[in-house]
């Protein structure tokens, strides 16, 4: 079983990254192989609604760094989406990636995969309602299973590293996958 973690925070080694690493620690403990990609390392253009991905090959017509990310997404059995809350939604970079998942609708390439959501925010779970719902509905539309989420209160860089409860929860989610 393969796990792909997509980090939608620009801050490497900070809250999203730390929580996702804990989930991956649990996954590796269970013998799963894991890959982690920092979305801010990639040039991801916005979907232009050209609808070419609805035709025969179900491929995105935009030739940018998503062409490197698509194969990892297709190969993974479990996808971890890690994003901080930015204005009660995901970061712009994560939203760009989600919009570019459109080829997976016609191509049905996400069907049956498991999805996990990892979200730090200053205000904690109450700030994540819209984001949580967005991912739930999107996973549903893609035919994915929403497995679990971790919504953690953290603001300063790497602040979550002192939150033993949420780190344990993240690890346990990884073990459960």
- State which residue, 88 or 141, has the beta carbon closest to ligand FMN: 88
How many residues contact ligand FMN, by CB under 6 A? 18
Selected from 6, 14, 73, 142, the binder of ligand FMN by CB under 6 A is: 14
Stretch that binds ligand FMN, among 10-18, 44-52, 129-137, 138-146 (CB under 6 A): 10-18
32, 52, 62, 127: which one contacts ligand FMN (CB under 6 A)?
A: 127
Distance between CA 73 and CA 52 in Å, rounded? Answer: 20
Q: How far apart are CA 21 and CA 16, in angstroms?
A: 8
Q: In terms of CB distance, is 28 or 157 closer to ligand FMN? A: 157
Interaction pattern, residues 61-100, with ligand FMN; x per rule: CB under 6 A: -----------------------xxxxx------------
User: Residue 65 Cβ, how far from ligand FMN at the closest point, in Å?
Assistant: 20
Please pick, from the candidates 47, 94, 121, 144, the single residue that binds ligand FMN as defined by CB under 6 A.
121
Whole-number Å distance between alpha carbons of 15 and 161: 7
Residue 47 has what DSSP assignment?
P
The CA-CA-CA angle for residues 135, 130, 72, to 5°, reads 25
- Residue whose CB is less far from ligand FMN, 92 or 107: 92
If you ran DSSP here, which 8-state letter would residue 86 be given?
B
Handedness of CA 131, 6, 99, 122 (dihedral sign): positive
| Cα 173 to the center of its chain, rounded Å | 14
Q: What part of residues 129-158 is at the interface with ligand FMN (CB under 6 A)?
A: 154-155, 157
- For the beta sheet containing 78-82, the strands, ordered from the edge strand earlier in sequence to the opposite edge, are 33-38, 2-7, 78-82, 114-121, 145-153
Residues that bind ligand FMN (CB under 6 A): 9, 11, 14-16, 84-88, 120-123, 127, 154-155, 157
């Amino acid at each position: 079983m393969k796990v792909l973690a997509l980090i939608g925070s620009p801050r490497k080694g900070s809250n999203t990254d730390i929580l996702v690493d804990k989930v991956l620690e649990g996954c590796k403990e269970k013998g799963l192989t894991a890959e982690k990609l920092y979305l801010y390392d990639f040039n991801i253009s916005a979907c232009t609604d050209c609808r070419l991905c609805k035709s025969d090959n179900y491929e995105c017509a935009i030739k940018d760094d998503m062409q490197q990310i698509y194969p990892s997404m297709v190969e993974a059995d479990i996808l971890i989406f890690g994003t901080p809350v930015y204005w009660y939604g995901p970061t712009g970079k994560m939203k760009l990636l989600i919009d570019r998942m459109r080829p997976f609708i016609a191509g049905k390439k996400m069907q049956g995969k498991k999805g996990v959501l990892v979200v730090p925010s200053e205000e904690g779970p109450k700030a994540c309602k819209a984001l949580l719902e967005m991912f739930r509905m999107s996973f549903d539309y893609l035919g994915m299973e929403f497995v679990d989420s971790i919504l953690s209160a953290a603001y300063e860089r790497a602040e979550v590293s002192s939150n033993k409860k949420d780190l344990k929860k993240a690890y346990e989610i990884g073990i459960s996958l």
